[in-house]
């Protein structure tokens, strides 16, 4: 599990492709790898990936065909920047929200507006994820825990502070930039609970359904 609080930026240093998978080397002078062991999990711009090799400033991950096809990792090139977070420990502060590292879909930046030192982003999500994204709720964008400012259909707005712009890949994100999205894990399990407890509920969860079920 992760918190969505990015620890460091990394750079894609090497990509070795196979018929349906890839082995990717990621370099980072910022990420402390002293406590990393083989088999540990590191979130790389969202997806949780397993460390198969590492040195003082580089770690290597194997990426499955599913991850290559369903996230932006499959489109990364050598030299591209990525957000990095090691798996959380039980003693860590939960500064963001609970993040699983399982990407639900890929969205796209459709608007970037500078407001003082802040930047407002409008992001288009896949239509099937829109029902899970709520104003003032949490969403994980490229591994970053963020608060949703507003929602309109399948489009949602984020207000990004200067620190996040400086310390993550969002600082360089422009319209057309694709991002990995992970919905709030609470929304995912709440829908599953409601649907399984009431067969009449369809997968089209709505605020009205939640109210009828007693969630005010």
Q: Which tens digit of pLDDT belongs to each residue from 197-211?
A: 665 555 455 556 555
Instruction: Determine whether 215 is exposed, middle or buried from the number of CB atoms within 10 Å of its CB (0-12, 13-18, 19+).
Output: exposed
The predicted pLDDT at position 97 comes to: 78
Query: What distances in angstroms separate CA 45 from CA 10, 48, 102, 123, 167, one per listed residue?
Result: 10, 9, 11, 16, 13
> What's the mean per-residue pLDDT of the chain?
90
**What's the pTM?**
0.86
147 torsion bin: left (phi>0), alpha (psi -120 to 50), beta (else):
beta
pLDDT for 142 beyond 90? yes
Catalogue all structural domains in the chain, each as residue range(s) with its CATH number: 8-86 (2.40.30.20), 105-183 (2.40.30.20)
pLDDT confidence bin for 214, thresholds 50/70/90: low
Q: Which tens digit of pLDDT belongs to each residue from 49-98?
A: 999 999 999 999 999 999 999 999 999 999 999 999 999 876 666 666 78
Burial letters for 157-175: b for 16+ Cβ neighbours within 10 Å, e otherwise?
Answer: bbbbeeebbebbbbeebee
Residues 144-149 have a mean pLDDT of 96
């Amino acid at each position: 599990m992760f918190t969505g609080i990015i620890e460091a930026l990394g750079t894609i240093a090497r990509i070795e492709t196979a018929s349906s998978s890839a082995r990717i080397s990621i370099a980072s002078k910022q990420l402390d790898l002293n406590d990393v062991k083989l088999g540990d999990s590191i979130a790389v711009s969202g997806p949780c990936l397993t460390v198969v090799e590492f040195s003082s400033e580089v770690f290597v991950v194997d990426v499955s065909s599913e991850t290559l096809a369903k996230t932006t990792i499959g489109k990364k090139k050598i030299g591209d920047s990525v957000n990095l977070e090691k798996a959380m420990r039980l003693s860590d502060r939960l500064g963001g929200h609970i993040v699983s590292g399982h990407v639900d879909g890929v969205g796209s930046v459709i608007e970037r507006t500078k407001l003082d030192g802040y930047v407002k982003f409008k992001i288009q999500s896949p239509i099937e994820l829109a029902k899970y994204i709520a104003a003032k709720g949490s969403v994980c964008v490229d591994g970053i825990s963020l608060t949703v400012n507003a929602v309109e259909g399948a489009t949602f707005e984020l207000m990004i502070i200067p620190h996040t712009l400086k310390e993550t890949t969002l600082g360089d994100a422009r319209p057309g930039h694709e991002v990995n999205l992970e919905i709030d894990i609470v929304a995912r399990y709440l829908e599953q609970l409601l649907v399984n407890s009431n067969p009449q509920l369809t997968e089209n969860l709505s605020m009205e359904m939640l109210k009828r079920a007693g969630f005010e």
